[in-house]
Structure 1
Amino acid sequence: MTKLLVVDDEYEIGNFLSYLFTKKGYEVSVARTYQEVVNHLSQTSFHLAMVDLKMPDTNGLQVLQMIKEKTPSCKVIIMTGYSTVKTAVDAIKNGANDYIEKPFDDIDELEKHVDNLLHVPGAFLDEEIQKVAQQIGMITGNSTEMKTMLKMAYKFASKNINILLEGETGTGKEVLARFIHEASHRVQNPFIGLNCGALTETLLESELFGHEKGAFTGAGQQRKGLFEMASHGTLFLDEIAEASPAIQVKLLRVLETREFMRVGSEHTLKTNARIVAASHVNLHEAVRNRSFREDLLYRLDVVKLQIPPLRERKEDLSLLIQKLLENQPAIEFSHESLAMMKDYHWPGNIRELSNVVTRAVALAEGETTIITPDYLPVTIRERKKVIPIQRKEVELAADSVVKDFSKSELEHFLEQWNGEMLDLLEEQGDLEQVKENIKKLEEVVEKAFVYKALRDTLGNRKEASKKLNTTVRKLRYILNEKGHGIR
């Protein structure tokens, strides 16, 4: 018999869920305290647990961790109020399968949700992701980082929450935004994208909110804005960090009230547009630099998805090249060319790869169907084993490690740091630059270890400090005084 565990200190909810799913033939146990959870998990293996985030003597994240340690195969649904959606999102990142908001408005949808998690095989999710990706011409690839990120994107696509995408230039943020739209319930409504850095403040305001006839010079007729046109659909705001302070204030108001006015109008309009924002810069860093509003970031960063750079998914390179050559079936890259391309760092990511493939095909046209190294840019053909880098690039690599530590990211930073130091030695660079680089090395490695420990302990600073054999005070110093910005 399928066994369900309900963890909620509210008697009405526990009794209701027990009655609802017992009628469906499930065996339901209810835990209202931390000790009751411990007792149930020590006696029974459950197929699914419905866990409330807030309880008097524990919280949903602790219960989630306990369940995953005792019964890794147990599916977990987090139950949350609107004010704790951000924490529920963190729970999914730490192993929960989904979350539902209380109060439960649609009981049929709740039952369907539970039945799907219990009876739909995991392979079905992968099939659905592939199906949506194929519809928009997206290559999902084989890298673990990309697969994990897409599963997260698919899960959150059906939720009525804003999503923030971060990734280096050329990683495909707009493609991912389209994936989220296609996987959502809004797919029958418009998807509209806008680059906030491509327009002046006046034009951007008009594009977003629309304007009335005569509102400004050249406004010959009334025009709808994107918030109006994308209502019930998805509005993708690329390079959101480029929006001026005045536009940021107006965006904040729309996100808080769902209301706006056309330029030159006194009438309030409403929008139900779902916002997917993107930036190639770290917005938390932009907040610390006071170039981006913290309250606006709070509204945008309900869910943050980090797109891995191409250098971290080199195993997908051949698949991406095949996709770029789908209209050139007779063309192929030689083994030597592919080897050089896999050894290249790809600072411009997929966009750069697309340009390289297009250029090579154009150069080879009428000469050959095999792309040899001669048709590749000199930067790829003559790449040194270690690439010298500028100070700014070191800082960007450091930010990437801090943002979401990964072994490959740290390896990349160390490789580049090593290259720069060797160049300084060869060129007899000044000692002040050497000292600065050593200081940066210490800072980045320290950050990487701290963030790894925090991730492993679900943000528990006391446990993280034990793992690192240091003090909570030292950890707090690293997090707050060395520019980490974690609170």
Structure 2
Amino acid sequence: MSNILVVDDEKDICLFLHHLLSDKGHHVTLCTSRQEFDQAKGNQKYDLAFLDVRLPDGNGLDILKDIRAVQPLCKVVVMTGYSTVKTAVEAIKLGAYDFIEKPFDDIEDIEHLTERLLTDGALPSQDHVHDLAARMGCFIGQNREMNQLFSLAYKFAQKNVTILIEGETGTGKEVLAHFIHEASLRADYPFIGVNCGAISEHLLESELFGHTKGSFTGAAKDRKGYFELADKGTLFLDEIGEASLATQVKLLRVLETGEFMKVGGENVLRSKARLIAASHVDLSKAVTKNTFREDLLYRLDVVKLTIPPLRRRSHDIPLFIEDYLKRHELKLSFTEETLELLKNYSWPGNIRELVNVIKRAAALAEGETERINPEYLPPKITRHIQGALETAAAVSQSPPKKPGFDSFLEQWEWEIREMWKSEDITELQLVLDRMKELESEAIRAFIEKSLRKTVGNRKETAELLGITMRKLRYYLNEKK
């Protein structure tokens, strides 16, 4: 018999879970408020807790933190409605094992989840994640951020929720989407990927939703679109920010109702495909520029997974190269000097660029050597390293940094000027990174200045800055 805690302000939910779990021989403690939880949390040790994220006198995430602190061995399952799924995502990041959506669709799912957590001790381990990734030829490495990313992706794969993947060009957004598909219950159904930026605006709608014969010039017969072809599988929309506003309206309808019509068609069709979207641009900024619909972003941004750029996990580069050479049966090795050069490069093209560098080195070395020296690397890499060393030397001679936005501006301007005056060409990606840093620091500084003026009143601050409360929350929570 296990001790199970249920925290939910809906008494019907509490009674339902009490009967369901008690019949299985478990001892169940019910709490309908934060106050009752505070009284019950220290009475006994709990093996499992079902936690609602919304309570009349408390925040479910705060209760989760309490449980994790007081009873770290207690496994927590978060209960949520659709409107609070994003909160459940935060709960997973804070240590919850899983979440279930209310109203409950299948009682057996709760029974199986309870049994698995109480008998197996946990959801699939990190070994399961790495095993699946290895079977797919998907490299995770030792980087902590990447391991957390794939663990979250694995957990959300079996949930029927929309996922938004963000990351720079070449980071492997489609690889992650395919991993989610293979880890989901839809793995036996099709995975279809489409790059919205590679298809013209006029053809994209037809590609997504299909068309009927004669609906436009060249439509010689009826054609199924990707939503229909994906069936019960997964549809991956890469670079969704490139879709026209008219297409975005139809995408919104599919997400809200599951319904769509072919171009030129009269019949309403239904799609059971799971949607995964991706973008290398910040869709929130696209909303402010009126190039992306805010309501569509709200529907897409249920679970957001951000892939870190390769320069933030450069220590995994030797491991990636070793894995790549082994998978492609290439009898080559990279010298330590070569690996150090690769680890210190900025990789604006990320994993895609690294793969191209490996292929280039293998092609040049074929028939000559099995040891890859720096001479087999593209000149841009060696030039970049030399330029970075000169810039670092120049920066070391600059005045020491002082706190405050004014001093940041002075330092930022000085570094940009040094890049501009340098005889070597500075890679554009480095300039773009510095521009993004300026933007982030400027936003933070102006918000803090306004908050000081309003004595912390966020509503008044948003009005003074001419932005919405949602946008202010985004800048405060995301732009850190």
Q: How does 1:119-158 map to 2 (within 5 A)?
A: 119-122=119-122, 124-158=124-158
Question: Which residue number in structure 2 is paired with residue 365 of structure 1?
Answer: 366
Classify 1:362/1:419 alpha carbon distance in 2 versus 1 (closer, same or farther; 3 Å). Answer: farther
Q: Secondary structure at the match of 1:168?
A: coil
Distance 2:44 2:196 in 1: 54
Q: Is 212-221 or 292-301 further displaced after alignment?
A: 212-221
Separation in structure 2 between the aligned mates of residue 367 and residue 414 of structure 1, nearest angstrom: 51
**Structure 1 residues 418 and 38 mapped into 2: Cα distance closer, same or farther (>3 Å)?**
farther
- 1:332 and 1:19 mapped to 2: Cα distance? 62
> 1:295-326: CA deviations, max 9, x gaps?
11111111100001111112221221123223
After superposition, the C-alpha distances for 1:86-112 in whole angstroms (9 at most, x for unaligned) are 322222223222111122232222011
Q: How does 1:88-487 map to 2 (within 5 A)?
A: 88-122=88-122, 124-325=124-325, 326-384=327-385, 387=388, 419-423=415-419, 444-445=440-441, 471-473=455-457, 477=461, 481=465, 485-487=471-473
Secondary structure of 2:231's match? coil
Structure 1 alignment gaps of length 5 or more: 389-412, 428-436, 454-464
Distance in 1 between residues matched to 2:247 and 2:145, nearest whole Å: 34
How far apart are the structure 1 equivalents of 2:90 and 2:352? 31
Q: Secondary structure at the match of 2:125?
A: helix
Shift of 1:120: 2.2
How many aligned positions are there?
Answer: 440
Q: Deviations over 1:317-367 (max 9, x none)?
A: 122112322324311111110011011111110000011001111111111
Q: Distance in 2 between matches of 1:165 and 1:414?
A: 35
CA distance in 1, matches of 2:319, 2:106: 42
Question: How large is the RMSD of aligned CA atoms in angstroms?
Answer: 3.2
Contact 1:211/1:265 (8 A) holds in 2:
yes
Match for 2:195: what amino acid? Answer: N
The CA distance in 2 between the partners of 1:250 and 1:16, in whole Å, is 39
Q: Matched residue of 2:54: which SS?
A: coil
Larger CA deviation: 440-449 vs 76-85: 440-449
Which whole-Å CA distance do the structure 2 matches of 1:272 and 1:381 have between them? Answer: 50
Q: Report the secondary structure of 2:285's partner residue.
A: helix
Checking the alignment, whether the CA contact within 8 Å between 1:386 and 1:419 is kept in structure 2 is no
| In 1, Cα distance between equivalents of 2:298 and 2:261 | 23
Cα distance change, pair 166–7 in 1 and its aligned pair in 2 (3 A):
same
Identical residues among aligned pairs (%): 50
Q: Contact 1:64–1:96 (CA<8 Å) still a contact in 2?
A: yes
Q: Post-superposition shift, 1:117? A: 2.1
Using the TM superposition, name which of 349-358 and 315-324 deviates more. 315-324
Q: Which moved more, 1:149-158 or 1:115-124?
A: 115-124
Cα distance change on mapping 1:44 and 1:253 into 2, 3 Å: same
Contact 1:212 1:219 in 2 (8 A): yes
The question of whether the paired residues in 2 share the 8 Å contact of 1:387 and 1:420 is answered with: no
Q: Deviations over 1:412-438 (max 9, x none)?
A: x999987435335779xxxxxxxxx99
Is residue 43 of structure 2 the alignment partner of residue 43 of structure 1?
yes
Q: TM-score, normalised by structure 2?
A: 0.84
Name the amino acid aligned to 1:383: H
What amino acid is aligned across from residue 472 of structure 1 in structure 2? G
What letter matches 1:106 in structure 2? Answer: D
- Paired with 1:440 and 1:130, the residues of 2 have a C-alpha distance of 33
Q: Contact 2:6/2:14 (CA < 8 Å) preserved in 1?
A: yes
Separation (CA, whole Å) in 2 of partners of 1:45 and 1:269? 51
Please list the CA deviations of residues 171-200 of structure 1 after superposition, one character each: whole Å capped at 9, or x if unmatched: 000000000100111111100000000011
**CA gap 1:379/1:448 in 2 versus in 1, 3 angstroms:** farther
